[in-house]
Structure 1
Amino acid sequence: MNERTPPLGDTGGLWQAVLAAAAGRCQCRGTCGKAHDKDGGRCPAGHGGYVRHGTGPVHLLAALANPDALLLPAHRAAALPKRELAAWCPACHDATRRAARQATAPATAPDALF
């Protein structure tokens, strides 16, 4: 998969439209926990580029822009309009989902043995 070859599931050009709107760059602005200070507050990962030496190329994905919506079930997420999508690098997407999941997890007290 490169800039000219969309993912197999992109039958309607949705992924390409999201990447074009994002100028081929991850749209995370710190919801992943990183400030992205060196790059003006936006993740520097670009589609097909390299984040660090020794890693493979970045393959951006189109996912929900709102971090809370990343926890929606797939059937509800698929029904949302494309204006609610953003381009994410896998690292920012995973970290943002993890943070959203932790924020919604109920606080439980440890069980007392005695």
Structure 2
Amino acid sequence: MSTNRTPPLGDTTGLWQQVIAAAAGRCQCRGTCGKNHAKDGGRCPREHAGYRHRHGGGLVHLVAAPADPADMLLPDHRQAALPKRALAAWCPDCHQATLAAARKTWQAAVPPVEPDALFKI
């Protein structure tokens, strides 16, 4: 019997660990969230399992998500297929703010929808 087993589909624990290890356990945001992180050398200071100092405190749990904000708008199955080099470690606050900024940029680029000819006056 072989001892080399493939993880079940959807098991991303190993990939998450690799992304977090490559980031040295620290959020990799460099300002796409809208903050410049200047007093922290230009990179978010939040570390995995570290405590937040504001906004209710609590532990920080980093997520592995697309490094490119535009890729955050991809459907989940396309994001899951991204290679490790296209992922980054994000604290929840930076991830949510970056995602919101990406959505806003995308919405601004989409032309307004014209009404159907049936409804034109």
- In the superposition, the TM-score normalised over structure 1's length comes to 0.81
Inter-partner Cα distance in structure 1 for 2:18 and 2:77: 21
Instruction: Indicate the SS of the match to 1:87.
Output: strand
Q: What SS does structure 2 have at the residue aligned with 1:68?
A: helix
Q: TM-score, structure 2 length as denominator? A: 0.77
Partner of 1:24: 25
**Alignment partners' CA distance in 1, 2:99 and 2:12:** 25
Whether 2:82 is the aligned partner of 1:90: answer no
Q: Secondary structure at the match of 2:21?
A: helix
Q: CA offset at residue 51 of structure 1? A: 2.4
The percentage of aligned residue pairs carrying the same residue is 67
Residue in structure 1 matched with residue 80 of structure 2 by the alignment: 78
Tell me which amino acid in the other structure corresponds to 1:36. Answer: H
Aligned CA distance change for structure 1 residues 11 and 63 (closer, same or farther; 3 Å): closer
1:42-93 residue CA offsets vs partner (Å, 9 max, x unmatched): 0000001112155101000100100110000011111111110100000000
Q: Which secondary structure does the structure 1 equivalent of 2:65 belong to?
A: strand
Asked if 1:41 is matched to 2:42, the reply is: yes
Q: Structure 2: which 5+ runs fail to align? A: 1-9, 113-121
> What is aligned with 2:103?
101
Moved beyond 3 Å, runs of 4+:
9-12
Superposition RMSD on alpha carbons, in Å? Answer: 1.6
Q: How many residues matched? A: 100
CA distance in 2, matches of 1:36, 1:80: 27
Gaps of 5+ in 1: 1-8, 109-114
